[in-house]
A = this chain, B = another copy of it.
């Protein structure tokens, strides 16, 4: 019989649909695709091996239930199995796998829970395919704005509606899938950190207090396209010259704010679109996409204000029109204090170096937390690298996380 480490290693490959985990090309299980469905089927198979009942809800989330009694409260654990394009094999899978492993240990130990225990694979967590993240968990938490999905297409021109219906989900169901409050008592997700705080402070585990959600800006500078060879330097309305200094400004100012107050603020000019983008034309239009995150919403807002001031000044200085549009403005999500304390205590009791921290990335739990008491446990992620083939966490980290979830379930479900 396999020991826990071996079982986890085996199931990790099965959920990733591979023989071994070294895949230089990365994993491609985009949301609402055949590949994601295949991974869900592996999940169903493993859940059945563990004696769990499985079912797919109306939006495509896959559930596996250790049913004790219909009227008993249900503790849910889980994460997702979809990936970005050429993604890693741990983002999402780690949470589903450790939840299954915890159930396995409890079953192996002949534990008899007083509450139902559910493991869930949320569908289409990544925004890679449609630009909209956490579709499955949004839908059951009542957080899905169906308008933001309408007409959205993937790279191949397939709409969300078509993709959803190809997977056997009715479009109408997506708009009306909110789970009754009573259906769950609480939700706990385990996830790889996708940052390097745990690695840098040599911690085993992180318990997340809050999730920094993004504010996103689109800054558009509009100048005049003219010939690079014939337009004198003093006679230009170069949109790029006007707006390029914003890149450094955002980076430097964010570092400066962190030094003074440390709101864990991060801000990135991450996308650039230049028109006409021709060697012989002065740039007439430049768009910057800026991603800003902090659990401190005031710090985010103050950075946005300063960016707007900077753009106003650049506009005057360079005789170029600059507009700042807010694409996304999400408030931070704070996780349940009681669950947080219990996870922290469990980590310490099991002898793990466990740190309180914030999450810079969004996860399914941020939607669940709007409706049910929820917690988020991080395991380390090598060099903070994620969303690419090099993404990696040691099996021992998955074992450690599993042990905390097991102990947590044992305490929570024993009465």
Contact = CB atoms under 8 A, between A and B. Distances in A.
Interface of A: 127, 193-197, 212, 214, 216, 225-235, 238, 240-241, 244-245, 247-248, 251, 254-255, 258, 264-274, 277-283, 286, 289, 291, 293, 359-362, 384-388
B225 A238 contact: no
B248 A244 contact: yes
Contact of A194 (B216, B227, B244, B268): B227
Contacts of A291: 228-229, 279-280
Contact of A271 (B227, B279, B386): B279
Contact of A255 (B127, B231, B233): B233
A233 B266 CA distance: 6
Top 8 closest A-B pairs, CB basis?
A195-B230, A229-B360, A244-B247, A230-B360, A228-B268, A229-B361, A194-B230, A228-B291
A294 to B, nearest CB: 10
Contacts of A235: 196, 384
A228 B266 contact: yes
A166 to B, nearest CB: 25
27 contacts: A195-B230, A196-B232, A212-B229, A216-B279, A227-B384, A228-B266, A229-B266, A229-B360, A230-B384, A231-B266, A231-B360, A232-B266, A233-B251, A233-B254, A233-B258, A240-B269, A240-B272, A244-B245, A244-B247, A245-B247, A268-B282, A268-B283, A269-B283, A270-B277, A270-B282, A272-B272, A280-B291
Contacts of A359: 229-230
Contacts of A385: 226
B281 A195 contact: no
